[in-house]
Amino acid sequence: MPETTLVPPPHTGPVAFTQAQLEWLAWIAPVPEAELTERQRASLIDAARAKSPYFRLLARDPDALEARTRTDKDIFYNPEGGAPRAERELAAAATSRFNGCIYCASVHARFAATYSKRGEDVQKLLDEGVGADLGERWNAVVAASVALAATPVAFGPEHVARLRKAGMDDFAIADIIQAASFFNWANRLMLSLGEPSLDAAA
């Protein structure tokens, strides 16, 4: 007998991009918390993620999950130089807005708003999309993220030149490239293995 997909419980799915806290409901069975092996538990990195159906689902391939999470954390949280955290988060939010991942966009729009203190501009990105006018430096970050997310990839020298003109050095630009690229990874997992809900977790 082949396995079957999960039918999520009745819930209210978001129909617009939002900074609200969303839940995520899996379409494939996560490893039940009580059945996590030691290796799977270690692959979560943060013990609290044992509560998350998303991370317990990815824990089915613990080596891939652990390396994914450590890559993610260094790209976004490493405080040493490069692009400011707010702009790494902006790249993540813009990529998610362009690819259409409402869940990822909600998380990283909140982070971008928190670190930049520009919640209204972040909301404008969510409401109007990647063509929103957010001021030249942010516009340059969004344009670079969009060009990277396109398939085939459309990122070129003009994007680097625009980021430099907006005041970024190559270390900062490399951070934007990695942050935007990473969300082409994250968006595809979040979008294809489950769905978002506006309802608080039961």
Partner 1 sequence: MTDADVIDTLAGIRPGSKLDAIRARRAVARDQAQASYRALFEPAAPGDMSVEERFAVACFVVGLHGDTGILGFYAERLAASGAPASLRAAVEAEAAAGRTQGPFGHYPAGPLSREDTDGMILRISEAGRAALGPRLAAAFAHVHMLIFHPRDAAPPSLQSLLDAGWSATGIVTLSQIVAFLSFQIRVVSGFRVLAGQ
**Residue ranges binding partner 1 (CB under 8 A):** 2-7, 13-17, 27-29, 57-58, 60-61, 63-68, 70-71, 73-75, 78, 80-82, 98-101, 129, 148-153, 155-157, 159-161, 170-171, 173-175, 177-178, 180-182, 184-189, 191-193
CA 168 from chain center: how many Å?
22
Q: Residue 124 CB, nearest distance to partner 1 (Å)?
A: 15
Closer by beta carbon to partner 1, 64 or else 117: 64
Closer by beta carbon to partner 1, 14 or else 119: 14
Radius of gyration of the chain (CA): 18
Give the H or E element holding residue 25.
Answer: strand 23-26
Closer by beta carbon to partner 1, 117 or else 192: 192
Would you say 162 and 172 are in contact if contact means Cβ atoms under 8 Å apart? Answer: no
Q: Residue 109 CB, nearest distance to partner 1 (Å)?
A: 15
Q: How far is CA 120 from CA 22, 33, 127, 132, in A?
A: 19, 38, 10, 12
Q: How far is CA 140 from CA 18, 85, 145, 190, in A?
A: 22, 16, 9, 26
Q: Residue 187 CB, nearest distance to partner 1 (Å)?
A: 6
| First-to-final CA distance of the chain | 31
Q: Residue 4 CB, nearest distance to partner 1 (Å)?
A: 6
Closer by beta carbon to partner 1, 74 or else 136: 74
Closer by beta carbon to partner 1, 112 or else 186: 186
Joined together, the tokens standing for residue 146 give 């969009």
Q: Residue 7 CB, nearest distance to partner 1 (Å)?
A: 8
Distance separating alpha carbons of residues 133 and 116, to the nearest angstrom:
16
